[in-house]
Amino acid sequence: MPTYRRRTRVAAPLADVWAFHSRADGLQRLTPDWIHLRVEGIDRPDDAAAATEPRPIDDDTATELVAGTELRLSVNPFGIGPRQRFVSRIRDRHAGDGRAYFVDDMSAGPLPEWVHTHLFFADGDDTILVDDVHYRLPGGAVAARFAPISGCGLEMAFRDRHRRTKRHWSDCRVSGGLRGIRTVPYRSRPGPLPTTQRLKPTAGEEPI
């Protein structure tokens, strides 16, 4: 199964970086423009309770991407062809002891398998951000021959994503704020990191 990994250093504390990545609007800000991402709906595991006990619109926990959240998304890379729709599910999420992670998979969509682990490690006043992706292309052995091409597409997307992340925090230092992003608390919930935490550098990784 093809694997992609990218790592970079972000000049911001773990609590802030984790909070930024815990919201759908953070996802939208980090996605390259050429992907044309659209969030078409968010289904949370406690939506039924929220329907009877609605929370205030300024309650940040209302849009926090907790485990069990499903995001109905669509993309249209480079504006070519019809929009591709898929469902991304947050299947695991933990934070504590100077580290945090969440894992999303594609519960419905064009790929037979997609597991994306987002890892965050505190390093002084900075955060080490790692994206680890395991995926499988449709078409079996024939499609496997195109894995290097798909890897190039992931490299282009995640290189842009990491640059946007670093630029966001650089802009925050200048403006003195989170540019309209409301943060959610860094909740310390002890839990083991997934096995994909192996951080051996690869040729495509950002130097840190």
Q: Where exactly are the structural domains of the chain?
A: 3-191
Mean pLDDT confidence for 168-183: 58
What global pTM score does this model have?
0.75
Q: How far apart are CA 114 and CA 139, in angstroms?
A: 15
Provide the 3-class DSSP secondary structure of residue 46. coil
Q: Which helix (H) or strand (E) covers residue 149, if one does?
A: helix 147-175
Q: Kindly report, residue by residue over 127-170, the tens digit of the pLDDT.
A: 999 999 998 887 665 455 545 455 577 888 899 999 999 998 88
Whether pLDDT at 190 is above 70: no
pLDDT, greater one: 145 or 92 = 92
Q: What is the CATH number of domain 3-191?
A: 3.30.530.20
Backbone angles phi, psi at 132, to 5 degrees: -125, 120
Contact, 2 vs 147, CB < 8 A? yes
Whether pLDDT at 64 is above 90: no
| pLDDT tier for residue 27 given thresholds of 50, 70 and 90 | confident
| pLDDT tier for residue 59 given thresholds of 50, 70 and 90 | very low
Q: How far apart are CA 202 and CA 196, in angstroms?
A: 14
Helix ranges (DSSP H) in 112-146: 140-144
Q: How far apart are CA 22 and CA 66, in angstroms?
A: 8
CB proximity list for 206: less than 8 A, separation 6 or greater: 6, 7, 8, 9, 159, 162
Whether pLDDT at 83 is above 60: yes
Contact, 161 vs 37, CB < 8 A? no
| pLDDT tier for residue 173 given thresholds of 50, 70 and 90 | low
Q: How far apart are CA 208 and CA 197, in angstroms?
A: 16
Work out the percent of the chain whose per-residue pLDDT is above 90: 46
